[in-house]
Amino acid sequence: NAGVTQTPKFQVLKTGQSMTLQCAQDMNHEYMSWYRQDPGMGLRLIHYSVGAGITDQGEVPNGYNVSRSTTEDFPLRLLSAAPSQTSVYFCASTRDRGFSGAFFGQGTRLTVV
């Protein structure tokens, strides 16, 4: 099983550029979420989705957009990259909104210069 697959693994952007971080899961999970991980900050929720067509904001949503057109995919869009968005981004999926714990992808390390 692939689980949760994130692409790319590494990315360097210039300030002002836009890009999409891809996330796909093959476990038929309804609930998917995006986190960012910064040194000493733990993981912070950016956006989440409780099913296809339904998304909502997490703790740190500014500068990011999401959509959920299928159960499998949950892309994260950076609209106009800023150095403050330099971070490691993790996508996660759960069967039941987190009761049984989230499965995480391997992460995307993003640097904005």
Task: Give me the amino acid identity at 66.
Answer: V
- The minimum distance between CB 101 and other proteins, in angstroms, equals 4
Q: Which of 41/113 has CB closer to other proteins?
A: 41
Among 45, 52, 67, 71, binds other proteins (CB under 8 A): 45
Is the CB of 17 or the CB of 43 nearer to other proteins? 43
Does position 86 interact with other proteins (CB under 8 A)? The reply is no
Q: Is 98 in the site for other proteins (CB under 8 A)?
A: yes
Specify the stretch interacting with other proteins by CB under 8 A; choose among 13-21, 22-30, 56-64, 71-79. Answer: 56-64
If DSSP states are collapsed to H, E and C, what string results for the chain?
A: CCCEEEECCEEEECCCCCEEEEEEECCCCCEEEEEEEECCCEEEEEEEEEECCEEEECCCCCCEEECCCCCCECCEEECCCCHHHCEEEEEEEECCCCCCCCEECCCEEEEEC
* 67 lines the binding site for other proteins (CB under 8 A): no
**Binder of other proteins out of 19, 27, 43, 82 (CB under 8 A):** 43
